[in-house]
Amino acid sequence: MKALIFPLLLTITATLAACATPPTLDVAAAPEGAYVLDPAHASVNWSISHSGLSLYTARFDDISGALDFNPTDPTASRLDIRIDPLSVSTGDAEWDATLGTDGKYFDGETHCEIRFVSTSAVKHNESSGTVTGDLTLRGITKPVTLDVTYNGSGKSFGHPGATLGFSARGKINRSDWGMDYLTNFGIGDEVTLRIEAEFNEAK
């Protein structure tokens, strides 16, 4: 039994040590090719002004996506993200159902997918830039530009390939997608987006 336990402990220790290695910010060091969004390590949070008293904040729980990553020319990479609007999460299940299904809000039973597909990118420096893409929401498609930070490539525990990490920020006006309900009553039109994402190398 001891002969079996010792090699196992060595394997676990080596794995944990690998996971503890900080990611590299050298974009060229990341493997080229297809990556899949890790939903366990991804979040799309949004906030709007609530009558100027606070920033009302919520998120989506069902997110999927793919990244075709080009380390030689990151601006040539392509991103496709899909969100289930019915997965909106505010901490109030009854209100979530209203936001997700009501035609004044996400109307998720009629328009069952929110989708962002990148169309271009601009590199600012080695770890940041902007990504512009088409955001389809409630059946309306309009361009959106996100400020993106590359957090690096490294190893994610439990995944054999490389993992890429990104943070993104952006702002949109919800009325551009037909969601202007209550804007005349102090509920903000401008929506702030805060996004965190890890993509695992597809094998």
DSSP string, 116-131: EEEEEEEEEETTEEEE
pTM: 0.88
Rounded distance, CA 111 to CA 65, Å? Answer: 18
**Cα–Cα distance measured from residue 123 to residue 69, given in angstroms and rounded to the nearest whole number:** 14
The model's pLDDT over 30-56, given as tens digits with 9 standing for 90+, comes to 999 999 999 999 999 999 999 999 999
Note the pLDDT tens digit of each residue in 64-94. 999 999 999 999 999 999 999 999 999 999 9
The 10s digit of each residue's pLDDT in 124-157 is 998 999 999 999 999 999 999 999 999 999 998 8
Q: Can you give the pLDDT at residue 5?
A: 59
Q: Are strands 43-50 and 190-201 parallel, antiparallel or unpaired?
A: antiparallel
In order of their start, the domains of the chain are 24-201 (2.40.128.110)
